[in-house]
Every structure is written in structure tokens, then in C-alpha cells.
Amino acid sequence: MDRNTARAKARELVSRMTLEEKASQLRYDAPAVQRLGIPAYNWWSEALHGVARAGTATVYPQAIGLAAMFDPDFLKEIAEAIAVEGRAKFNEAFALGDHGIFKSLTFWSPNINIFRDPRWGRGQETYGEDPYLTTRLGIAFVKGLQGEGEYLTSAACAKHYAVHSGPESLRHEFDAEVNEKDLWETYLPAFEALVREGDVEAVMGAYNRVNGEPCCGSPTLLVDILRGRWGFEGHVVSDCWAIKDFHEAHHVTDTAPQSAALALSNGCDLNCGNTYLHLLTAFQEGLVTEEQITLACERLMTTRFRLGLFDKDCLYHKIDYFSSDTDAHDRLAYQAAARSITLLKNDGILPMKPEELKTIAVIGPNADSQKALEGNYNGISSRYVTFLEGIRASCEGKVRLMYALGSQLFFDRDTPIAEMDNRLSEAVAIAKRADAVILCVGLDATLEGEQTDTSNSFAAGDKPDLELPLTQRRLLEAVVKTGKPVVTVVASGSALRVEEGNAVLWTGYPGQAGGKALADILFGKVSPSGRLPVTFYRSDRDLPAFTDYSMKNRTYRYFKGAALYPFGYGLSYTRFSYSAASYGDGAVEVDVTNAGGMDGEEVAQVYVRNHHPEAPENPVLCGFLRFALKAGEKKRIRLPLSEHAFFVIDQKGKTIPNMGRKTLYVGGSQPDHRSMELLGQEPLYITMIDGTGEA
């Protein structure tokens, strides 16, 4: 149902409600209005990388891993599958009269905040540090979730608007101070694109303030920019219990009715929390009008009409429970994991050849860990394959496999030191007897994540630094010291400084099929093809303070140092060569040849350096394409570029066209020295003044 039709139906329905009934519908747990045939509806559902917190569902790689695929088309396909599972679960719950939390079709995903600092625990929920990559993936995910039929399959939500990326411990009181250039160049582009191009149905405000205004009641963000400048027509929802922060933490209001009024009067339609229970008091005190309550209710009912919730003939009502947790969706989860796992280092040990090995030692706290597959905001899979299980299946009948935990994930004061040492000695013992070691280390969502979801209470979900926990550093050092070949497998939702081992693989949190995908890459059934959506730094000492929201010396666009592993970087088992690059008609064209001996997938990347004094210091991603090539195959590919690639944001936040010199770089990585050193190849470049050029 198009928005205009849905809006008209919503207005007619809301016109028959009392003030009290309208106000009640602005709560996330909206009660039924039985006299009008309106069932109860709980707006709070999650679908970050699969239907979350609602029981059994397909678990795809965490969002940061989905970003590592650099593949909007495939991400859209995954989102379409998530929406189908969401409908299947909603239909079943609704039929049983279950209107509880996490059972609805309004998914508070995707998270399109910019992962500006690797210490942020929730960075795993994002698509990385680059605004352009985040924009393209965010649009694809929204279009997949919402569908292109008569009704929305489900409703997506762009969060957390805006300028939000930690620290978690301060999020309820923090004022993110940001200049106009960084605001419009880094923090807002993805939100604008999801509104204008993605037609996202909802936007969620952030907990923090931005330049003094609380995001969920900001006249600048919600009124002037979101609805005024961008023309957003959907609904706005607060982050959960964010509105009570107005008076309890930000101290911009004194009472709950004042906080409710500030949010509602600036266009926050739906309250995840309980502050809108004070809306009628705010009305009685003259702080809000009935017209404002009515408008918010109309926007929310418009979404419910667009979902077909008041139409018994909506086709999506026929999706049954057997459409969830399917074999087809499991295959998608496997493909996503295989495309997201990123090879960071390889001295030739990979791919491993089972016929040349008698014994493999699999060691580490993440080797047989379900949590290392999941990340946060996850569903529960019925088909988990841990790293150990995937490797064991591949070795069955070919290679003897030995396993040792080696260490805990992190130091637990309740575990005796002697027990920890026993685990370490066992790991060393089997490493010495093995022909090769696969060492599975890293983090999980108990160490990095949201403030309320982790056992990492000392940092509220954020990381104190970029190092492995001490227990794992001891393990890694001891295993490497044996002199045996070591493949280090790192599960994390963020950058860690790990370079020890003959090879290093970063898996993200790869989802239910992570173990099978890892094994197929380790043993050469699949060539690795993931690309880093974030910079892996050498140390947090290279970065500004965590609370500094300036982009100076942050992310690959402004970082002045040498990265450990750069943004956009990832190795392969084959070799791709680029030639005959040209630009014209808004696109880069280039010949790409698989010059190696194995079929594989490549991610071609285009970066632009605008030679303008107010452009970013380093070349910026402006185009990318994932494609497959068989060994020896050559293909000419086309990478369309947006006109925004040649725009520059000045210090006042104004967009200006760059009429001067521009240089485009095209290749399998960004054109920084570390990427070229690691990959052993230089991207082609095209210098333009008049809008055309050849390499």
C-alpha cells in the first residue's frame, strides 16, 4: 500500500479515537483499542543479522561481517530472507494471541552509525567506518527488509540518529560535539540516503546529545534536517528509555512531562520506554497539543496500514512457520560467512593440504564456542557449526584432530591460576605433537557489545585497548613459541592487533555456518574474499581520545599513520590483475584478469582524491563491485560513480562541486602504501580535470 493511501486510512481511523486512546498508541507496547478493532501491537523487534530475540531463526554473520562482503545485492537477498522469517514468526505469534516484545514486524535495524573508533563495543552492529560503504549497504538492507510489493514485508528503521558511537558508559549523558564538516561529511550521509533513496519507514534517535540537543528531542536533527531538509515521511522512535534521560541525565528538562513534551513537539512519534505515560499530564499542563498527539498517532497507524495489518487479504498473512529456519536460508548464511571471512596474512601455509598433514591441533577459547559465531542482537539457530565442528568434519578420515581449550576467553577471578596453567600446558603439549595448529582466539559479545548486554562491566561493553585479553595473549605466545606452523583465527566485531602466526584470518562473528565456511577456506575449497570494513590499527595510542568526535586522524580517510591491516584490504588464494582503466559517462571501466590458479571472487574498489583544500586527506571509497572469475578468466567490469564522488564538504557543512583536479584509483584495495605492500600490486589511477580520463 502506497504511503498516501495508508496515510488517508490512518487519518480516518485516528479521527475516531479519543485523546486517551491516541496517546496510548504512542507507546512501544501499544494496547488494543477493542471498540475500533485495533489489536495490541508491540513495536519493538530486532533483525540486525536475522530475526533476533524471538526464538529459533537463521543467524547470519554479524553486521560488520556482512559489510566485509562488500556486496549490496547479496545483502539485499539476505534481508529479504530475514523479512520472510519475520513474517512467518509474526503470523504464528499473532494467531496464538501473542503480542509480546520481539514478535512484531517493525524491525529496529539497520544500525548505520559510523564505526569511528575501534574501541566502541557496538561497532560490530554497523557496516564499518566508511560513509559510502555504509550508505550502499544500508539502502540494500532496507530495501530487502521492506520489499517491493503492495505492502511492506516488514518495516526497517535507521538507527541511531545521529553522531552516536560511544563510549557506552557515557551514552545516557554524553554530548557529542561535532563541527559542521564532520556532521555532513561523515555522520549524516547514510541517514540521508536511507531516507531519500531507501524510503526507510522509521528512524530511531540516539541516547546522546549532539551539540547540546538531545537526539530524541532535537529541533535541529528531527525538525530542520530529517523532516524539513530531507522530507522524511515515516515515523520516529526513541531509543529505549532515552527520553527519560532528558531530565535524569542530560538535565535539559526538569520533569517527565516536560521530557515527553520536548520529544513529541520535535517529532518523536513513538516512545520505547515509559515517559510517554506522562503525555496526558503534559497535555493538561499545556506543554503539548492534541494535534501533536494526533499527528504522531497518524504516522504510526500509517506504518501499520502499510504493513497490511488491517487488511485480512494481505498476501503476506499466508507465510507460514515453515518459512523460517529453512535449508535455503542456511545456504545463504553459509555463503555470507564464506564471503565475509577475511585473510589478513599468509606466508604460504594456506590453503592447508590434508594429504600433507597427519595431525592438526585446534586450540583456543573460541574454537568450540557458539557465542563466537553469534555477535549481539542475534536469534538462536538450530544449525550452529562451531569452528571445531567445521574443521573436524573436513578432517574426518583424513587427518587426526586434537583439541584443547588452552585458556579462558578472559581472566576470570573465580578460576584458580593452577587450572589456567593446566589449560595452557595442554595446549602446548598438543601443539608440539601436531603438524599444524589452528588457534581460535578473539572476543564475543560478552566482552564487546552494548552497555546492558555484556559481562564487561568495567568498560560497559567497550574495549580498553586493541589487544587480545591477557589469558589469550599468554596462549598465543606459548603456542607460537613451539615453532609449529600456526594459523591464527580471530573472531571479533572490531579491530584487534593480532599479527602472530603464519597466517591470520578474521572471521567477524560469522553466524550459524561459520565453522563450515572457515573449514572450507582453511582447506582450499573456497578462496577467501572478504575485505575489511574498518581499519585495523597497530595501537589505540595512534588514535585520538575516545570521546573526541572530530574525524581528525580517524578512519582510513583521515588517518596519518600506517595501519596494521588497512580498510578495504583482504588477501586471496589467487591473483587478480587490473588493466586498461578509463572513466566516462559516470563510470569507471577496467579489465580484470584472474591470473592465478584458482577460481575466486574479487572486490574491485574505486577511490577518489579530490585535490581540493577541504577534501579528506586520503583517497575516499566511491565505488565497488564484487564479482567472480574462474582461473585465467578476464572480464571488463563497470563501476558507476555517484556525482557525490566529486563533491566536497566545506567547513560550514556546505556541499560544493570540485571543478578542479581529481584522481581516481581502481584496484583490489585502497591506494595506501600498506595495502600495496601487503598485496604486492599498485592500483591503476586516472587523473581528471574535465571529467574524463584514462590510466
Question: How do residues 70-118 score in pLDDT, each as one tens digit?
Answer: 999 999 999 999 999 999 999 999 999 999 999 999 999 999 999 999 9
Q: Is residue 329 a part of any domain in this protein?
A: no
Segment 355-386, tens digit of pLDDT: 999 999 999 999 999 999 999 999 999 999 99
CA distances from residue 39 to 5, 33, 36, 100 in whole angstroms, order as listed: 21, 6, 9, 12
pLDDT band at 693 (very low <50, low <70, confident <90, very high): very low
Q: Is residue 56 a part of any domain in this protein?
A: yes
b vs e for 140-159, b when ≥16 Cβ sit within 10 Å of the residue's Cβ?
bbbbbbbbeeebbbbbbbbb
Residues 243 and 104 in one domain: yes
According to DSSP, the β-strands at 359-363 and 157-161 are unpaired
Distance CA 444, CA 611 (A): 42
pLDDT at 692 over 50: no
Residues 316 and 428 in one domain: no
Q: Which residues are designated catalytic? A: 239, 448
pLDDT at 462 over 60: yes
| CATH code of the domain in which 493 resides | 3.40.50.1700
> Would the pTM count as exceeding 0.85?
yes
- Sequence-distant (≥ 6) Cβ neighbours of residue 18 within 8 angstroms: none
Distance CA 342, CA 390 (A): 17
| CATH code of the domain in which 598 resides | 2.60.40.10
Q: 470's torsion region: left (phi>0), alpha (psi -120 to 50) or beta? A: alpha
Average pLDDT value for residue range 640-647: 92
Residues 526 and 633 in one domain: no
pLDDT band at 454 (very low <50, low <70, confident <90, very high): low
Residues 303 and 386 in one domain: no
Q: Is residue 559 a part of any domain in this protein?
A: no
Average pLDDT value for residue range 396-417: 86
Segment 42-51, tens digit of pLDDT: 999 999 999 9
* Mean per-residue pLDDT of the chain: 95
Please check whether residue 43 is in contact with residue 235, taking contact to mean a CB–CB distance below 8 angstroms: no
- Sequence-distant (≥ 6) Cβ neighbours of residue 36 within 8 angstroms: 13, 16, 17, 21
Domain boundary among 505, 532, 547: 547
Distance CA 659, CA 441 (A): 49
Segment 539-551, tens digit of pLDDT: 999 999 999 999 9
Residues 131 and 260 in one domain: yes
Q: For position 418, what pLDDT does the model report?
A: 64
Average pLDDT value for residue range 448-470: 83
Q: Is residue 17 a part of any domain in this protein?
A: yes
Q: For position 691, what pLDDT does the model report?
A: 47
Share of the chain above pLDDT 70, in %: 97
Q: Is residue 453 a part of any domain in this protein?
A: yes
Q: For position 676, what pLDDT does the model report?
A: 76
Q: For position 689, what pLDDT does the model report?
A: 58
pLDDT at 675 over 90: no
pLDDT at 695 over 70: no
Q: Is residue 75 a part of any domain in this protein?
A: yes
Residues 494 and 621 in one domain: no
Domain boundary among 527, 547, 567: 547
Residues 105 and 156 in one domain: yes
pLDDT at 694 over 60: no
pLDDT at 690 over 80: no
Q: For position 142, what pLDDT does the model report?
A: 98
Q: Is residue 276 a part of any domain in this protein?
A: yes
Q: For position 416, what pLDDT does the model report?
A: 66
C-alpha 685 chain-centroid distance: 30
Share of the chain above pLDDT 90, in %: 92
Residues 266 and 366 in one domain: no
Residues 474 and 591 in one domain: no
| CATH code of the domain in which 165 resides | 3.20.20.300
Residues 149 and 282 in one domain: yes
Domain boundary among 323, 351, 383: 323
Q: Is residue 570 a part of any domain in this protein?
A: no
Q: For position 456, what pLDDT does the model report?
A: 64
Residues 238 and 386 in one domain: no
Number of domains in the chain: 3
Distance CA 58, CA 384 (A): 10
- Sequence-distant (≥ 6) Cβ neighbours of residue 167 within 8 angstroms: 119, 120, 174, 460, 462, 546, 547
Three cell numbers written together for 255? 520533569
Residues of the domain holding 585: 576-694
Residues 510 and 623 in one domain: no
Average pLDDT value for residue range 283-299: 98
pLDDT at 459 over 70: no
Q: For position 422, what pLDDT does the model report?
A: 83
Q: 3-state class of 495 per DSSP?
A: coil
Segment 46-65, tens digit of pLDDT: 999 999 999 999 999 999 99
